[in-house]
Structure 1
Amino acid sequence: MKFMLIVKANEESEAGAMPTEQELAEMGKFNEELVNAGVMLDGNGLLESSKGVRVQFSGKGQTTVVDGPFAETKELIAGYWIIDVKSKDEAIEWARRVPFEEGEIEIRKVAEAEDFGDNFTPELREAEDKLRERVTGQQS
């Protein structure tokens, strides 16, 4: 099962404060543990929302682009990991090991084919599988 560990933003991350050398070293060690355990698929930090935009949808083909920064810091994301583990409990155990003194990590299961039920027809699954193969090929 794939899970996303979502690092919630805080006032420091939204102010553009970069981690200290020690914090980066601790995070590197944690990332190495994830890789050595064979569970890490991806992970990155995100820059503050003032460097981002939101694309809002209001009807078919109608979009509006809104420049950051965005107000509700507690609802923003400062980084993430995507891990592949056996259970939600294992994802929780990995999240508990993140070398943070303060903050919050939200854990969300990544949707898989069976989660979509009958609407995800064999034809749609096949098309999705082909796209994923192309993406993997582009990353190589």
Structure 2
Amino acid sequence: MKFMILIKADKNSEAGVIPDERLLTEMGKFNEELVKAGVMLAGEGLHPSSKGARVRFSGSKRTVMDGPFTEVKELIAGFWMWEVKSREEAIEWVKRIPNPMGMESEVEIRQVFTADDFGPALTPELRAQEDRLRAETTQRLNNRS
């Protein structure tokens, strides 16, 4: 099962405050544990929303809104993508994360859909397309290394 682990933003991450050496060291050790356990698929920190944008969809109209965005508690400061056996295993790993903000903070755990979750709506043709796109993406990533 794949899970996306979402690190919620706070006023410091939104102000562009970079984690200190201690936290970077602790996170590095934790990431090493994740990799050695075969859990970590990806993980990155995100720039503050002031460097981002949102696109609002309304029918065929698209409206671009530049950051920053005001509701800090609704923003994401970083993420991991993990492959684990269960939601419970994801929770156990999250409990071991060094406190990402150094104070009160939240980490959200969200399961990623698989092709099987879409049932008959994912026709054989759409499934073949999905498989082809995943293979192309994997190949592109492997060529970068």
2:75 alignment counterpart: 76
Post-superposition, which runs of at least 4 consecutive aligned residues in structure 1 deviate over 2 A? none
Give percent identity, aligned residues only: 60
Q: Provide the rounded CA distance (Å) in 2 between the counterparts of 1:76 and 1:70.
A: 8
- After TM superposition, the structure 1 = structure 2 runs for residues 42-53 of structure 1, keeping only pairs within 5 Å, are 42-53=42-53
Query: Normalising to structure 2: TM-score of the pair?
Result: 0.94
- After TM superposition, the structure 1 = structure 2 runs for residues 36-47 of structure 1, keeping only pairs within 5 Å, are 36-47=36-47
Kindly state the Cα deviation for residue 57 of structure 1 after the two structures are TM-superposed.
Answer: 0.8
Kindly state the Cα deviation for residue 38 of structure 1 after the two structures are TM-superposed.
Answer: 0.4
Q: Which runs of 5+ in 1 are unaligned?
A: none
1:128 alignment counterpart: 130
Q: Provide the rounded CA distance (Å) in 2 between the counterparts of 1:9 and 1:42.
A: 19
Aligned AA for 1:47?
A: H
2:9 alignment counterpart: 9
Query: Normalising to structure 1: TM-score of the pair?
Result: 0.97
User: How many aligned residue pairs are there?
Assistant: 139
SS of 1:71's equivalent?
A: coil
> RMSD over aligned Cα, in angstroms?
0.7
Kindly state the Cα deviation for residue 110 of structure 1 after the two structures are TM-superposed.
Answer: 0.4
SS of 2:98's equivalent?
A: coil
Q: Provide the rounded CA distance (Å) in 2 between the counterparts of 1:122 and 1:87.
A: 27
Q: Which runs of 5+ in 2 are unaligned?
A: none
